[in-house]
Every structure is written in structure tokens, then in C-alpha cells.
């Protein structure tokens, strides 16, 4: 399944389950879901209590979870 298909399926499921939320709130939930999918798909490894490394940085840059969230949003959502 392609990422766009996963995103669309997740969006549809969330709209049905949380029909009282705004489009923006659903979109934020989709972004979080896609980040979790990205992390669980082998793109991120936890190497410490709040320390992670990421594939596209060739596993060289260390991130906190907050930094990893910002990196993900910049690299994959805002583009």
C-alpha cells in the first residue's frame, strides 16, 4: 500500500470515528498516525531514554522526540 493510500484510509477512518472534530484536528491526527507508521517502518531507532536516530540522516544525527517530530514535519509534511 502506498503512503498516500495509507494517509487516505487513516483520514477516512478518523473522520468516521471522530465526526465531531474539525478538519484541522483530523488532519493533525493523520499526521501523528503517519509519523508513527514512518517510525515503525524501520526509519527510526531508539538508542536512549529520549534519543533517536533516523535513516535519511544516515543514522548519524541524534534527536530527542521533540526534535524528531519537528524533523518529520519539516521533511515529510511541509514539503
Query: CB under 8 Å to 33, separation ≥6 — which residues?
Result: 10, 14
* 51-72 tens-digit pLDDT: 999 999 999 999 999 999 999 9
DSSP 22: -
Spatial distance between the Cα atoms of 76 and 49, rounded to a whole number of angstroms: 25
18: containing domain: 3-77
| pLDDT given at position 78 | 81
Q: How many structural domains is the chain composed of?
A: 1
The pTM of the full predicted model, rounded to 2 decimals, is 0.81
Spatial distance between the Cα atoms of 47 and 62, rounded to a whole number of angstroms: 9
Residue numbers of the chain with a pLDDT score lower than 70 = 79
Smallest Cα–Cα separation from 36: which of 1, 65, 12?
A: 65
Amino acid at each position: 500500500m502506498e503512503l498516500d493510500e495509507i494517509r487516505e484510509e487513516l483520514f477516512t477512518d478518523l473522520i468516521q470515528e471522530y465526526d465531531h472534530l474539525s478538519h484541522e484536528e483530523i488532519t493533525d491526527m493523520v499526521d501523528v498516525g503517519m509519523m508513527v507508521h514512518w517510525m515503525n517502518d524501520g526509519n527510526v531507532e531508539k538508542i536512549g531514554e529520549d534519543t533517536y536516530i533516523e535513516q535519511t540522516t544516515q543514522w548519524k544525527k541524534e534527536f530527542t522526540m521533540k526534535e524528531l517530530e519537528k524533523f518529520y514535519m519539516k521533511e515529510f509534511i511541509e514539503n
